[in-house]
Chain A
């Protein structure tokens, strides 16, 4: 993928848009560039399917994970560990921040906004999926965008198109979603940085649109058949 990463990359968006999955795969991509990578799970909203579920896998890959010690436990406790400040304090690491869904999830980011703005070496990415009913068109998607920006006090700098239908995603679905992503881009003034594609569809999609702006999703959480 042809992309120049900033020191901190933040993924936010509508819940269920695929932020966690992309954050983990983006961290893997950074690691493969030879960077020291920290994944910060700032999700204080979702009870299940957290980046903490991939802790062992990330450990094996040499990627550090900072997450609420309550993630995946039996309590609903919206707290972040003090260790989270390493994201803004330790500038030797490339940080990938996984922000919780919608504006509610983005409130947690506000605590770190000042440090991120003053360092000014971040990319704040809006993750979009046109197959999610509440972001099925560009104008609905922009509503979510402005709610998140208001909640966290930061502006997005780019878009990642993660349009997919889960297991039923076809190559055509992805290619068709480009016009939706472009419309969101036009209306928001933000560039589409890349499109994320399930690994098994990657080659076929790359043939049609080139691989310069495609992120393969190699790490995938699978729950049940």
Chain B
């Protein structure tokens, strides 16, 4: 492990990426993610890397496509409106089967919205978000330490499956400071025989492309890609379970909401209510099995989110609607308090929730 330092979540993402061998960063400033770019602008020139502030988010994501084609680890970061601008390029990355790390430090929306924290890009991140049949691997950190470790995990999974890994954080995690230890990891864990590195007149040239002139070939490509997605769903689900074993009420929350929800679960337990928490760490693939298992003994679920209720749909699907699922939420840049979540737990436990 490295040395312990005090970092903002945004900085931890940047340093973790550098320590995972990423030497190419393309971005455009936007609050509350700007420290990722600011940190990269200071560090990259000192280690022979490339920091480039593109003329727009659209340009930045296309630069990512270019570098990724050469097999190098590459990333970009933004906040909600900027990720919307990048979504076209994300679809192209998916269509070309290119690995890349995309960071979304979410803020309130829709539209220009606001600069305070939010989780309202859950649909965009987990349901594709851009055009065409595809998935991103979506990782949801809940601490500054996880901002670092999941950034590195994100690169690893992206390379392994030739997919986009997205870090779905929020403004609070980006701005808050916590002690963190960041490991040095190898950038060369995966061979990339598909990369455009020059044939040296020794091999056939590689092609990176998302255009298929014949529909039957495009169909085959999509079928193949979804076979790969099945493998990801089978092998890469990550989640945290907290006091779920004997729980009557199962709270489901990710990211900063899960930190709040955990406090509420502890407060509920102190009152004698058997509450537990499932925290999805991968939002895609979604941890369906642990939720389905919890539904065997939990009488109700509560989805705690900083949006109008997006993950709640995946919770309902995962438990096949066998139990009621209630929403406890704030939106527009507001964060739920432990008291608000506790109140909901008590209400649901008493059977009086709507």
Minimum C-beta distance from B17 to chain A (A): 13
A166 at the interface (CB under 8 A from B): yes
Instruction: Give the residue of A73, A133, A224 whose beta carbon is less than 8 angstroms from that of B7.
Output: A133
Q: Which residues of B contact A168 (CB under 8 A)?
A: 4, 179
Docked complex Cα distance between A132 and B263 (Å) = 28
Most A C-beta atoms less than 10 A away, residue of B35, B108, B117, B171: B35
B30's nearest neighbour on chain A, judged by CB, is A76
Q: Which 10 A-B pairs have the closest CB atoms?
A: A74-B114, A48-B175, A131-B6, A168-B179, A165-B179, A224-B259, A47-B31, A76-B31, A133-B5, A47-B115
CB–CB B6/A166 < 8 A: yes
Could you tell me which residues of chain B, from 174 to 231, have a CB within 8 Å of some CB in chain A? 175-179
Docked complex Cα distance between A131 and B32 (Å) = 23
B256 at the interface (CB under 8 A from A): yes
Docked complex Cα distance between A12 and B82 (Å) = 31
A70's nearest neighbour on chain B, judged by CB, is B115
A136 at the interface (CB under 8 A from B): yes
**Residues of B in contact, count (CB < 8 Å):** 34
User: Number of contact residues on A: which range applies?
Assistant: 20 to 34
B172 at the interface (CB under 8 A from A): yes
CB–CB B15/A133 < 8 A: yes
* Chain A positions near chain B (C-beta within 8 angstroms): 15-16, 46-49, 73-76, 102, 129, 131-134, 136, 164-168, 223-225
CB–CB A165/B175 < 8 A: no
Q: Which residues of B contact A73 (CB under 8 A)?
A: 114
Q: Which residues of B contact A224 (CB under 8 A)?
A: 172, 176, 256, 259-260, 263
- If A167-B178, A167-B179, A223-B172 touch, whether A16 touches B4 (CB-CB below 8 Å) is no
Q: Mostly helix, strand, loop or mixed at chain A's interface? A: loop
CB–CB B32/A164 < 8 A: no
Most A C-beta atoms less than 10 A away, residue of B4, B5, B332: B5
Minimum C-beta distance from A96 to chain B (A): 21
B42 at the interface (CB under 8 A from A): yes
Most B C-beta atoms less than 10 A away, residue of A46, A129, A132, A166: A166
CB–CB A132/B115 < 8 A: no
CB–CB A47/B175 < 8 A: yes
B175's nearest neighbour on chain A, judged by CB, is A48
Most A C-beta atoms less than 10 A away, residue of B8, B108, B256: B8
Instruction: Give the residue of A46, A49, A133, A166 whose beta carbon is less than 8 angstroms from that of B178.
Output: A166
CB–CB A16/B8 < 8 A: yes
CB–CB B5/A131 < 8 A: yes
Q: Which residues of B contact A48 (CB under 8 A)?
A: 32, 116-117, 171-172, 175-176
- If A133-B11, A166-B177 touch, whether A47 touches B171 (CB-CB below 8 Å) is yes
Q: Which residues of A contact B117 (CB under 8 A)?
A: 48
CB–CB B6/A134 < 8 A: no
CB–CB A165/B115 < 8 A: no
- If A48-B172, A165-B179, A166-B179 touch, whether A132 touches B31 (CB-CB below 8 Å) is no
Q: Which residues of A contact B7 (CB under 8 A)?
A: 16, 132-133
Q: Which residues of A contact B110 (CB under 8 A)?
A: none
B239 at the interface (CB under 8 A from A): no
Minimum C-beta distance from A202 to chain B (A): 19
B113 at the interface (CB under 8 A from A): yes
CB–CB B5/A225 < 8 A: no
A102's nearest neighbour on chain B, judged by CB, is B38
Docked complex Cα distance between A164 and B178 (Å) = 10
Minimum C-beta distance from B230 to chain A (A): 36
Q: Which residues of B contact A74 (CB under 8 A)?
A: 108, 113-116, 332-333
CB–CB B179/A75 < 8 A: no
B15's nearest neighbour on chain A, judged by CB, is A133
B39 at the interface (CB under 8 A from A): yes
B113's nearest neighbour on chain A, judged by CB, is A74
CB–CB A164/B256 < 8 A: no
Instruction: Give the residue of A49, A129, A133, A164 whose beta carbon is less than 8 angstroms from that of B175.
Output: A49
CB–CB A223/B176 < 8 A: yes
Q: Which residues of A contact B15 (CB under 8 A)?
A: 133
